[in-house]
Chains A and B, each alone.
Chain A
Protein backbone atom coordinates (compact mmCIF):
# COMPACT_ATOMS: atom_id res chain seq x y z
CA UNK A 1 0.00 0.00 0.00
CA UNK A 2 1.35 3.39 -0.86
CA UNK A 3 0.35 6.31 1.24
CA UNK A 4 0.81 9.55 -0.53
CA UNK A 5 1.66 12.10 2.11
CA UNK A 6 1.04 15.68 1.21
CA UNK A 7 1.99 18.39 3.65
CA UNK A 8 1.90 22.11 3.57
CA UNK A 9 2.71 24.13 6.64
CA UNK A 10 2.12 27.80 6.98
CA UNK A 11 4.28 28.08 10.10
CA UNK A 12 2.10 28.02 13.14
CA UNK A 13 4.31 29.60 15.73
CA UNK A 14 5.48 27.42 18.60
CA UNK A 15 5.13 29.74 21.61
CA UNK A 16 1.42 29.29 22.02
CA UNK A 17 -0.08 28.41 25.38
CA UNK A 18 -3.50 26.88 25.77
CA UNK A 19 -5.85 28.49 28.31
CA UNK A 20 -8.97 26.38 27.88
CA UNK A 21 -9.68 23.39 25.70
CA UNK A 22 -12.81 21.48 24.75
CA UNK A 23 -13.53 18.96 22.07
CA UNK A 24 -16.61 17.89 20.14
CA UNK A 25 -17.56 15.06 17.85
CA UNK A 26 -19.05 16.09 14.51
CA UNK A 27 -21.10 13.40 12.87
CA UNK A 28 -24.10 15.04 11.25
CA UNK A 29 -25.43 18.36 9.98
CA UNK A 30 -27.21 18.94 13.27
CA UNK A 31 -23.83 19.19 15.01
CA UNK A 32 -22.84 22.30 13.04
CA UNK A 33 -24.94 24.88 14.90
CA UNK A 34 -23.98 23.73 18.44
CA UNK A 35 -20.34 23.68 17.39
CA UNK A 36 -20.54 27.21 16.01
CA UNK A 37 -22.20 28.36 19.21
CA UNK A 38 -19.34 26.90 21.29
CA UNK A 39 -16.84 28.72 19.07
CA UNK A 40 -18.77 31.93 19.49
CA UNK A 41 -18.91 31.54 23.29
CA UNK A 42 -15.16 31.06 23.38
CA UNK A 43 -14.60 34.18 21.24
CA UNK A 44 -16.99 36.25 23.35
CA UNK A 45 -15.20 35.20 26.55
CA UNK A 46 -11.97 36.52 25.07
CA UNK A 47 -13.78 39.77 24.15
CA UNK A 48 -13.10 39.32 20.46
CA UNK A 49 -14.62 42.08 18.32
CA UNK A 50 -17.71 41.47 16.22
CA UNK A 51 -15.96 41.50 12.84
CA UNK A 52 -13.29 38.99 13.90
CA UNK A 53 -15.90 36.88 15.63
CA UNK A 54 -17.92 36.69 12.45
CA UNK A 55 -14.84 35.83 10.40
CA UNK A 56 -13.89 33.09 12.85
CA UNK A 57 -17.37 31.60 12.96
CA UNK A 58 -17.62 31.65 9.18
CA UNK A 59 -14.23 29.95 8.87
CA UNK A 60 -15.29 27.37 11.44
CA UNK A 61 -18.46 26.77 9.51
CA UNK A 62 -16.58 26.18 6.24
CA UNK A 63 -14.15 23.70 7.76
CA UNK A 64 -16.75 21.78 9.71
CA UNK A 65 -18.86 21.47 6.58
CA UNK A 66 -15.90 20.15 4.60
CA UNK A 67 -15.31 17.65 7.36
CA UNK A 68 -18.90 16.45 7.11
CA UNK A 69 -19.14 16.51 3.33
CA UNK A 70 -15.75 15.05 2.40
CA UNK A 71 -14.27 13.59 5.59
CA UNK A 72 -17.26 11.60 6.90
CA UNK A 73 -17.27 13.68 10.08
CA UNK A 74 -14.61 13.88 12.74
CA UNK A 75 -13.46 15.71 15.79
CA UNK A 76 -12.95 19.37 16.55
CA UNK A 77 -10.95 20.95 19.34
CA UNK A 78 -11.81 24.47 20.47
CA UNK A 79 -9.10 26.26 22.41
CA UNK A 80 -8.62 29.67 23.92
CA UNK A 81 -4.92 30.36 23.38
CA UNK A 82 -2.41 33.08 24.04
CA UNK A 83 0.90 34.08 22.53
CA UNK A 84 2.84 36.79 24.31
CA UNK A 85 0.19 39.44 24.97
CA UNK A 86 -2.27 38.24 22.36
CA UNK A 87 -5.34 36.15 22.96
CA UNK A 88 -7.20 34.16 20.38
CA UNK A 89 -9.18 31.08 19.45
CA UNK A 90 -7.58 28.00 17.93
CA UNK A 91 -9.70 25.38 16.19
CA UNK A 92 -8.39 21.99 15.13
CA UNK A 93 -10.41 19.81 12.74
CA UNK A 94 -9.42 16.16 12.50
CA UNK A 95 -11.08 13.61 10.25
CA UNK A 96 -10.28 10.07 9.15
CA UNK A 97 -11.72 10.59 5.69
CA UNK A 98 -10.14 9.96 2.27
CA UNK A 99 -7.62 12.80 2.60
CA UNK A 100 -6.69 15.39 -0.03
CA UNK A 101 -4.31 14.20 -2.77
CA UNK A 102 -3.19 17.66 -3.88
CA UNK A 103 -3.41 20.30 -1.17
CA UNK A 104 -2.09 23.10 -3.38
CA UNK A 105 -4.91 22.42 -5.82
CA UNK A 106 -7.55 22.20 -3.08
CA UNK A 107 -6.36 25.59 -1.79
CA UNK A 108 -7.09 27.25 -5.16
CA UNK A 109 -10.11 29.51 -5.42
CA UNK A 110 -12.85 27.76 -7.31
CA UNK A 111 -11.48 24.22 -7.07
CA UNK A 112 -14.14 21.81 -5.90
CA UNK A 113 -14.73 18.11 -6.28
CA UNK A 114 -18.21 18.60 -4.86
CA UNK A 115 -19.77 20.86 -7.55
CA UNK A 116 -19.59 23.71 -5.06
CA UNK A 117 -18.03 27.17 -5.12
CA UNK A 118 -14.60 25.90 -4.10
CA UNK A 119 -14.11 28.81 -1.72
CA UNK A 120 -14.10 27.01 1.61
CA UNK A 121 -10.39 26.33 2.07
CA UNK A 122 -8.89 29.40 0.35
CA UNK A 123 -11.58 31.66 1.84
CA UNK A 124 -10.98 30.32 5.33
CA UNK A 125 -7.27 31.01 4.97
CA UNK A 126 -8.08 34.65 4.17
CA UNK A 127 -10.44 34.95 7.15
CA UNK A 128 -8.02 33.78 9.85
CA UNK A 129 -4.52 34.71 11.04
CA UNK A 130 -2.92 31.29 11.03
CA UNK A 131 -3.85 28.37 8.84
CA UNK A 132 -2.26 24.95 8.82
CA UNK A 133 -3.37 21.94 6.80
CA UNK A 134 -2.03 18.40 6.72
CA UNK A 135 -3.55 15.54 4.80
CA UNK A 136 -2.65 12.01 3.84
CA UNK A 137 -4.62 10.03 1.26
CA UNK A 138 -6.39 7.13 2.93
CA UNK A 139 -5.57 8.45 6.40
CA UNK A 140 -7.36 11.74 6.90
CA UNK A 141 -7.09 15.48 7.12
CA UNK A 142 -6.17 17.88 9.90
CA UNK A 143 -6.74 21.61 9.67
CA UNK A 144 -5.75 24.08 12.41
CA UNK A 145 -6.62 27.75 12.42
CA UNK A 146 -6.08 30.63 14.82
CA UNK A 147 -7.93 33.91 14.94
CA UNK A 148 -6.32 36.49 17.20
CA UNK A 149 -8.63 38.92 18.98
CA UNK A 150 -6.83 41.91 17.53
CA UNK A 151 -5.72 40.14 14.33
Chain B
Protein backbone atom coordinates (compact mmCIF):
# COMPACT_ATOMS: atom_id res chain seq x y z
CA UNK B 1 0.00 0.00 0.00
CA UNK B 2 2.72 2.42 1.15
CA UNK B 3 4.57 3.20 -2.02
CA UNK B 4 1.30 3.87 -3.75
CA UNK B 5 0.39 6.59 -1.28
CA UNK B 6 3.81 8.21 -1.29
CA UNK B 7 3.66 8.27 -5.07
CA UNK B 8 0.19 9.79 -5.16
CA UNK B 9 1.31 12.55 -2.81
CA UNK B 10 4.55 13.29 -4.64
CA UNK B 11 2.68 13.57 -7.92
CA UNK B 12 0.05 15.88 -6.46
CA UNK B 13 2.24 18.65 -5.07
CA UNK B 14 0.62 21.38 -7.13
CA UNK B 15 -2.93 20.24 -6.31
CA UNK B 16 -2.11 20.12 -2.60
CA UNK B 17 -0.62 23.58 -2.73
CA UNK B 18 -3.65 24.89 -4.55
CA UNK B 19 -6.12 23.36 -2.06
CA UNK B 20 -4.10 24.64 0.82
CA UNK B 21 -3.86 28.18 -0.56
CA UNK B 22 -7.63 28.29 -0.94
CA UNK B 23 -8.30 27.44 2.71
CA UNK B 24 -5.65 29.92 3.79
CA UNK B 25 -7.13 32.69 1.72
CA UNK B 26 -10.36 32.37 3.67
CA UNK B 27 -8.70 31.91 7.07
CA UNK B 28 -6.16 34.70 6.73
CA UNK B 29 -8.21 37.32 4.95
CA UNK B 30 -8.36 39.44 8.13
CA UNK B 31 -4.61 39.39 8.54
CA UNK B 32 -3.58 41.03 5.28
CA UNK B 33 -1.71 43.70 7.17
CA UNK B 34 0.54 41.25 9.04
CA UNK B 35 1.81 39.23 6.11
CA UNK B 36 1.35 39.39 2.35
CA UNK B 37 -0.37 36.60 0.46
CA UNK B 38 2.77 36.37 -1.64
CA UNK B 39 4.81 35.54 1.44
CA UNK B 40 2.30 32.94 2.58
CA UNK B 41 2.42 31.38 -0.84
CA UNK B 42 6.21 31.18 -0.72
CA UNK B 43 6.27 29.73 2.78
CA UNK B 44 3.64 27.16 1.86
CA UNK B 45 5.51 26.09 -1.24
CA UNK B 46 8.77 25.75 0.62
CA UNK B 47 7.14 23.70 3.34
CA UNK B 48 5.29 21.35 0.97
CA UNK B 49 8.40 20.83 -1.13
CA UNK B 50 10.50 19.98 1.91
CA UNK B 51 7.79 17.71 3.24
CA UNK B 52 7.24 15.71 0.06
CA UNK B 53 10.94 15.46 -0.68
CA UNK B 54 11.62 13.82 2.67
CA UNK B 55 8.49 11.73 2.92
CA UNK B 56 8.93 7.96 2.56
CA UNK B 57 7.10 4.78 3.45
CA UNK B 58 8.74 4.40 6.86
CA UNK B 59 8.41 7.92 8.19
CA UNK B 60 4.79 8.50 7.23
CA UNK B 61 3.33 8.87 10.71
CA UNK B 62 6.59 9.56 12.55
CA UNK B 63 7.33 13.26 13.09
CA UNK B 64 10.54 12.42 14.96
CA UNK B 65 12.14 10.79 11.92
CA UNK B 66 15.46 12.52 11.15
CA UNK B 67 14.38 13.06 7.51
CA UNK B 68 11.86 15.58 8.77
CA UNK B 69 14.49 17.78 10.45
CA UNK B 70 14.30 20.15 7.53
CA UNK B 71 10.50 20.38 7.80
CA UNK B 72 10.64 20.84 11.56
CA UNK B 73 13.22 23.56 11.15
CA UNK B 74 11.21 25.54 8.65
CA UNK B 75 8.11 25.10 10.81
CA UNK B 76 10.03 26.50 13.77
CA UNK B 77 11.28 29.46 11.78
CA UNK B 78 7.82 30.13 10.53
CA UNK B 79 6.31 29.87 14.00
CA UNK B 80 8.90 32.24 15.50
CA UNK B 81 8.58 34.79 12.73
CA UNK B 82 4.80 34.70 13.05
CA UNK B 83 5.01 35.05 16.82
CA UNK B 84 7.05 38.21 16.29
CA UNK B 85 4.65 39.48 13.64
CA UNK B 86 1.88 39.24 16.19
CA UNK B 87 0.04 36.17 14.96
CA UNK B 88 -1.70 34.11 17.61
CA UNK B 89 -0.59 30.48 18.10
CA UNK B 90 -4.03 29.48 16.86
CA UNK B 91 -3.45 31.08 13.48
CA UNK B 92 -0.16 29.26 13.10
CA UNK B 93 -1.90 26.01 14.01
CA UNK B 94 -4.60 26.65 11.45
CA UNK B 95 -1.86 27.14 8.87
CA UNK B 96 -0.22 23.79 9.64
CA UNK B 97 -3.50 21.93 9.87
CA UNK B 98 -4.51 23.41 6.53
CA UNK B 99 -1.61 21.58 4.95
CA UNK B 100 -2.77 18.30 6.48
CA UNK B 101 -6.33 18.82 5.27
CA UNK B 102 -5.14 19.64 1.77
CA UNK B 103 -3.11 16.43 1.71
CA UNK B 104 -5.94 14.30 3.01
CA UNK B 105 -8.33 15.83 0.44
CA UNK B 106 -6.03 14.71 -2.36
CA UNK B 107 -5.76 11.20 -0.95
CA UNK B 108 -9.49 11.04 -0.53
CA UNK B 109 -10.07 11.91 -4.16
CA UNK B 110 -7.61 9.29 -5.34
CA UNK B 111 -8.37 6.47 -2.92
CA UNK B 112 -12.13 6.77 -2.91
CA UNK B 113 -12.50 3.07 -3.79
CA UNK B 114 -9.98 1.88 -1.16
CA UNK B 115 -11.38 3.07 2.19
CA UNK B 116 -9.13 0.82 4.29
CA UNK B 117 -6.00 2.30 2.73
CA UNK B 118 -7.40 5.79 2.96
CA UNK B 119 -8.16 5.31 6.64
CA UNK B 120 -4.72 3.91 7.43
CA UNK B 121 -2.97 6.73 5.58
CA UNK B 122 -5.12 9.46 7.17
CA UNK B 123 -4.42 8.08 10.59
CA UNK B 124 -0.67 8.19 10.02
CA UNK B 125 -0.84 11.67 8.57
CA UNK B 126 -2.75 12.76 11.65
CA UNK B 127 -0.01 11.46 13.93
CA UNK B 128 2.59 13.17 11.81
CA UNK B 129 0.87 16.53 11.81
CA UNK B 130 0.09 16.34 15.50
CA UNK B 131 3.80 16.30 16.17
CA UNK B 132 4.35 19.13 13.69
CA UNK B 133 1.71 21.18 15.51
CA UNK B 134 3.45 20.58 18.81
CA UNK B 135 6.70 21.84 17.31
CA UNK B 136 5.09 25.09 16.20
CA UNK B 137 3.45 25.53 19.56
CA UNK B 138 6.66 24.95 21.47
CA UNK B 139 8.68 27.30 19.31
CA UNK B 140 6.00 29.91 19.62
CA UNK B 141 6.27 29.78 23.41
CA UNK B 142 10.05 29.73 23.28
CA UNK B 143 9.97 32.84 21.09
CA UNK B 144 7.82 34.63 23.63
CA UNK B 145 10.00 33.49 26.51
CA UNK B 146 13.07 34.91 24.82
CA UNK B 147 11.32 38.25 24.61
CA UNK B 148 10.45 38.08 28.31
CA UNK B 149 13.99 37.17 29.35
CA UNK B 150 15.40 40.00 27.28
CA UNK B 151 12.97 42.46 28.83
CA UNK B 152 13.84 41.26 32.34
CA UNK B 153 17.51 41.88 31.63
CA UNK B 154 16.78 45.28 30.21
CA UNK B 155 14.62 46.22 33.16
CA UNK B 156 17.22 45.23 35.72
CA UNK B 157 19.79 47.26 33.84
CA UNK B 158 17.80 50.45 33.38
CA UNK B 159 16.40 50.31 36.88
CA UNK B 160 19.74 50.43 38.69
CA UNK B 161 21.52 53.53 37.46
CA UNK B 162 24.30 55.13 39.46
CA UNK B 163 24.20 58.92 39.14
CA UNK B 164 27.08 61.18 40.03
CA UNK B 165 25.17 64.10 41.51
CA UNK B 166 28.23 66.01 42.72
CA UNK B 167 31.91 65.52 43.02
CA UNK B 168 32.21 62.83 45.67
CA UNK B 169 28.47 62.14 45.87
CA UNK B 170 26.67 59.29 44.14
CA UNK B 171 22.95 58.69 44.03
CA UNK B 172 21.13 55.43 43.29
CA UNK B 173 17.41 55.70 42.80
CA UNK B 174 15.96 52.24 43.38
CA UNK B 175 12.65 51.52 41.69
CA UNK B 176 10.69 48.33 42.21
CA UNK B 177 11.36 45.37 44.45
CA UNK B 178 14.82 44.90 45.86
CA UNK B 179 15.15 41.15 45.60
CA UNK B 180 18.39 39.23 45.97
CA UNK B 181 19.32 39.42 42.30
CA UNK B 182 18.63 43.17 42.13
CA UNK B 183 20.63 43.78 45.31
CA UNK B 184 23.59 42.03 43.78
CA UNK B 185 23.43 44.30 40.72
CA UNK B 186 22.91 47.45 42.81
CA UNK B 187 25.81 46.57 45.07
CA UNK B 188 28.18 45.79 42.22
CA UNK B 189 27.29 48.94 40.32
CA UNK B 190 27.63 51.05 43.44
CA UNK B 191 30.96 49.67 44.61
CA UNK B 192 32.38 49.96 41.13
CA UNK B 193 31.24 53.57 40.84
CA UNK B 194 32.73 54.41 44.23
CA UNK B 195 36.11 53.20 43.10
CA UNK B 196 35.82 54.79 39.68
CA UNK B 197 34.73 58.22 40.85
CA UNK B 198 36.49 58.26 44.20
CA UNK B 199 33.22 59.22 45.84
CA UNK B 200 32.87 59.22 49.60
CA UNK B 201 29.09 59.37 49.93
CA UNK B 202 26.42 57.25 48.29
CA UNK B 203 22.71 58.00 48.57
CA UNK B 204 20.34 55.05 48.14
CA UNK B 205 16.95 56.50 47.36
CA UNK B 206 14.12 54.05 48.00
CA UNK B 207 11.17 56.31 47.09
CA UNK B 208 10.35 53.87 44.32
CA UNK B 209 10.39 50.74 46.46
CA UNK B 210 6.81 49.64 47.19
CA UNK B 211 7.48 47.80 50.46
CA UNK B 212 10.36 47.26 52.83
CA UNK B 213 10.10 43.84 54.41
CA UNK B 214 12.79 42.09 56.42
CA UNK B 215 14.47 40.75 53.29
CA UNK B 216 14.68 44.17 51.62
CA UNK B 217 15.88 45.69 54.90
CA UNK B 218 18.59 43.08 55.12
CA UNK B 219 19.66 43.82 51.56
CA UNK B 220 19.83 47.52 52.37
CA UNK B 221 21.93 46.86 55.46
CA UNK B 222 24.31 44.67 53.50
CA UNK B 223 24.70 47.35 50.85
CA UNK B 224 25.44 49.94 53.54
CA UNK B 225 27.97 47.64 55.18
CA UNK B 226 29.74 46.99 51.89
CA UNK B 227 29.87 50.72 51.12
CA UNK B 228 31.45 51.38 54.52
CA UNK B 229 34.04 48.71 53.89
CA UNK B 230 35.04 50.70 50.83
CA UNK B 231 35.60 53.70 53.07
CA UNK B 232 32.51 55.58 51.93
CA UNK B 233 29.33 56.50 53.78
CA UNK B 234 25.90 55.39 52.68
CA UNK B 235 22.71 57.36 53.26
CA UNK B 236 19.24 55.96 52.67
CA UNK B 237 16.65 58.45 51.53
CA UNK B 238 13.06 58.44 50.38
CA UNK B 239 11.59 56.58 53.33
CA UNK B 240 7.89 57.39 53.06
CA UNK B 241 5.90 57.82 56.30
CA UNK B 242 3.92 54.61 55.81
CA UNK B 243 7.12 52.69 55.20
CA UNK B 244 8.73 54.17 58.32
CA UNK B 245 5.75 53.03 60.42
CA UNK B 246 5.82 49.57 58.91
CA UNK B 247 9.54 49.17 59.52
CA UNK B 248 9.09 50.09 63.17
CA UNK B 249 6.24 47.60 63.70
CA UNK B 250 8.12 44.90 61.92
CA UNK B 251 10.91 45.46 64.43
CA UNK B 252 13.70 46.28 62.03
CA UNK B 253 16.45 48.35 63.61
CA UNK B 254 17.88 50.85 61.16
CA UNK B 255 19.45 53.02 63.85
CA UNK B 256 22.96 52.25 62.60
CA UNK B 257 22.08 53.64 59.22
CA UNK B 258 21.83 57.27 58.24
CA UNK B 259 18.31 57.77 56.90
CA UNK B 260 16.74 60.89 55.44
CA UNK B 261 13.17 61.59 54.41
CA UNK B 262 13.95 62.83 50.93
CA UNK B 263 16.71 62.93 48.37
CA UNK B 264 17.02 66.68 48.98
CA UNK B 265 17.63 66.11 52.68
CA UNK B 266 20.21 63.46 51.89
CA UNK B 267 21.94 65.83 49.50
CA UNK B 268 22.04 68.58 52.11
CA UNK B 269 23.52 66.12 54.61
CA UNK B 270 26.12 65.09 52.04
CA UNK B 271 27.11 68.69 51.34
CA UNK B 272 27.51 69.30 55.05
CA UNK B 273 29.71 66.29 55.59
CA UNK B 274 31.85 67.28 52.62
CA UNK B 275 32.03 70.76 54.13
CA UNK B 276 30.37 72.27 51.08
CA UNK B 277 28.07 75.22 51.32
CA UNK B 278 25.21 75.97 48.96
CA UNK B 279 24.10 79.58 49.14
CA UNK B 280 21.83 81.89 47.25
CA UNK B 281 23.82 84.22 45.04
CA UNK B 282 24.24 87.74 46.39
CA UNK B 283 22.57 89.97 43.82
CA UNK B 284 22.82 93.79 43.90
CA UNK B 285 19.12 93.94 44.80
CA UNK B 286 19.39 92.16 48.14
CA UNK B 287 22.81 93.45 49.00
A residues with CB within 8 A of B: 29, 32-33, 36, 40, 50-51, 53-55, 57-58, 61-62, 65, 109, 116-117, 119-120, 122-124, 126-127
A57: chain B residues within 8 A (beta carbon): 210-211
**Interface-side segment among B32-40, B45-53, B100-108, B245-253:** B245-253
Name the interface residues of B237-287: CB closer than 8 Å to any CB of A: 241-243, 245-246, 249-252
20 A–B pairs (Cβ distance < 8 Å), ordered by A: A29-B179, A36-B210, A51-B241, A51-B245, A51-B246, A53-B242, A55-B242, A55-B245, A55-B249, A58-B212, A58-B213, A58-B246, A65-B215, A117-B214, A117-B252, A119-B250, A119-B252, A123-B249, A123-B250, A123-B252
What does DSSP make chain A's interface, helix, strand, loop or mixed? helix
Do the beta carbons of A116 and B246 come within 8 Å of each other?
Answer: no
Interface centre among A29, A55, A116, A122 (most CB of B within 10 A): A55
Q: Are B243 and A62 in contact (CB under 8 A)?
A: no
Is B218 part of the binding interface, using a Cβ–Cβ cutoff of 8 Å?
A: yes
B225 at interface, CB cutoff 8 A: no
When A and B form their complex, what is the total count of cross-chain residue pairs whose Cβ atoms lie within 8 Å? Answer: 65
Q: Note all chain A residues with C-beta closer than 8 A to B177.
A: 32-33
A124 to B252, CA, bound (A): 12
Closest 9 pairs (CB-CB, A-B): A123-B250, A54-B242, A61-B213, A51-B242, A126-B249, A119-B214, A119-B251, A58-B246, A117-B214
- Of B249, B250, B252, chain A has the most CB atoms within 10 Å of the CB of B250
Q: Which of A54, A65, A119, A120 contacts B243 (CB 8 A)?
A: A54
B87-102, CB < 8 A from A: none
Q: Are A62 and B213 in contact (CB under 8 A)?
A: yes
State A119–B213 Cα separation when bound (angstroms). 9
Q: Chain A CB within 10 Å — which of B210, B213, B241 has the most?
A: B213
Q: How far is the CA of A54 from the CA of B196 in the complex (A)?
A: 37
**Which of these, A36, A54, A117, A126, contacts B218 with CB under 8 Å?**
A117
Of listed B179, B214, B218, residue having the most chain A CB within 10 A? B214
User: Is B217 among interface residues, defined by CB-CB distance under 8 A?
Assistant: yes
Q: Is the CB of B250 within 8 A of A58?
A: yes
Q: Which residues of B contact A36 (CB under 8 A)?
A: 210-211
Query: Which residues of chain A are within 8 angstroms of B211 by Cβ–Cβ distance?
Result: 36, 54, 57-58, 61
Q: What residue in chain B is nearest A52 (Cβ atoms)?
A: B242
Closest to A63 in B: B213
Q: Specify which of A36, A61, A126 lies most central, judged by the most chain B CB atoms within 10 Å of its CB.
A: A61
Known: A119-B250, A123-B249. Contact between A50 and B242, CB under 8 A? yes
Contact between B217 and A117, CB atoms less than 8 A apart? yes
**Beyond A51-B246, A58-B246, 6 extra complex contacts between A and B, CB < 8 Å:** A32-B179, A36-B211, A119-B251, A120-B213, A123-B250, A127-B250
In the complex, what's the smallest C-beta–C-beta distance from A20 to chain B, in angstroms? 22
CA distance A53 to B240 in the complex (A): 13
The residues in B between 157 and 177 inclusive whose CB is less than 8 angstroms from any CB of A are: 177
Report the bound CA distance from A123 to B212 in whole Å.
12
**Contact residues in B for A54 (Cβ distance below 8 Å):** 211, 242-243, 245-246
